Amino acid sequence: MQLGLIGLGKMGGNMRERIRRAGHTVIGYDRNPEVSDVKSLEELVQQLDAPRTLWVMVPAGTATQTVVDELKDLLSPGDVVVDGGNSRWTDDEKHAAELGIKGIGFVDAGVSGGVWGLQNGYALMVGGDKEHVERLKPIFEALKPEGPYGYVHAGRVGAGHFSKMVHNGIEYAMMQAYAEGWELLEKVHSVENVREVFRSWQEGTVIRSWLLDLAVNALDEDEHLEKLRGYAEDSGEGRWTVEAAIDNAVPLPAITASLFARFASRQDDSPQMKMIAALRNQFGGHAVEKKD
């Protein structure tokens, strides 16, 4: 299958490589000429055979809207656009309507895998019309992890990004729980090897997970996280999850508390947020703030 991929950053660049390894043709465009296969969006569209499929991997909001606006004028009826970034689900409905006027299909794909996706595969949560989703199945199969799991057609347009948003909200709460447990272990004098306690949990316990493995990785690199400042950003999806909970009268105390804990980290040097920052860096390559 042939695919145009827009945005070749940490995720997009690795996705291009994984899809190519599966035997598909990927032509990538990025504003950085050092990684781009073509010089412009227009050239990208010209090199693709109709009906075209374009996958967008750029930041949510203005950047995604700008790309959608440009593609709307470059593409033809029967083409399909996939938004694989972290867009808000309400934007998906808007983009689908804007492109639909021109006869262009739209699919939203929540993508999870971070900097490890090239090696391990990406979990994909997809929203859109069945005909458009079915057309993209070869690409989804190339990106997903090996085995029966890792891909779902979650529902209509917006369902993919809504599902990914909830996924990230759960991630917030899980990270917060590990961080709180780590701080408590570090605080008491009787526990002399906190890192090895975390390592011992990696097998045979109900709290084992990939996040726990990444926590151990981080502690191997900096045993007491002394090099980090206790400051953690939020991606925006945690906020959207809490807002959706309010709109739907669904109680989310753990996720909400974990979001507020990140806000608190910006007021002082929080030990827990050192672990949150370390985990975000481990799974997503997110920047951390080092101590002076």
User: Which residues constitute the domain of residue 97?
Assistant: 2-156
Half-sphere exposure (Cβ direction) of 284: Cα atoms closer than 13 Å: 15
pLDDT attached to residue 268: 72
29 pLDDT more than 70: yes
- Report yes or no on 289 lying in a domain: no
The answer to whether residues 156 and 138 touch, using CB atoms and an 8 Å cutoff, is no
Domain end point (choices 156, 181, 215): 156
pTM for the full model? 0.88
235 pLDDT more than 90: no
Count of structural domains, the chain: 2
- Report yes or no on 279 lying in a domain: no
Same domain, 64 and 209: no
pLDDT attached to residue 292: 65
State percent of the chain over pLDDT 90: 85
Taking the C-alpha atoms of residue 85 and residue 184, their distance in angstroms, rounded to an integer, is: 36
Same domain, 129 and 213: no
- Report yes or no on 277 lying in a domain: no
pLDDT attached to residue 114: 83
169 pLDDT more than 80: yes
Same domain, 175 and 150: no
172 pLDDT more than 80: yes
pLDDT attached to residue 94: 97
**Annotation marks residue 164 as catalytic:** yes
Catalytic residue among 171, 183, 237, 274: 171
Same domain, 176 and 39: no
Cβ-proximal residues to 197 (8 Å cutoff; 6+ apart), any chain: 185, 191
Residue 273's pLDDT band, with cuts at 50, 70 and 90, is: confident
Residue with tokens 């690199």: 221
For residue 51, is the peptide bond before it cis, meaning its omega torsion is within 30 degrees of 0?
yes
Taking the C-alpha atoms of residue 124 and residue 152, their distance in angstroms, rounded to an integer, is: 6
User: 56 forms bridges with which residues in the sheet?
Assistant: 6, 83
Same domain, 146 and 199: no
In 3D space, the residue among 194, 204, 249 whose CA is nearest the CA of residue 224 turns out to be: 194
Q: Across residues 159-185, what is the average pLDDT?
A: 96
- Report yes or no on 291 lying in a domain: no
Q: What is the mean pLDDT of the chain?
A: 94
CATH number of the domain within which 121 lies: 3.40.50.720
Residue 287's pLDDT band, with cuts at 50, 70 and 90, is: confident
To the nearest 10°, the Cα dihedral for 59, 63, 66, 72?
Answer: 0
- Report yes or no on 288 lying in a domain: no
Same domain, 118 and 181: no
Same domain, 121 and 7: yes
42-52, pLDDT tens digit by residue? 999 999 999 99
Taking the C-alpha atoms of residue 117 and residue 5, their distance in angstroms, rounded to an integer, is: 16
- Each as own residue / partner, the long-range contacts of residues 29-36 (CB below 8 Å, 24 or more positions apart, any chain) are 29/4, 29/5, 30/6, 32/8, 35/8, 36/8
**Annotation marks residue 171 as catalytic:** yes
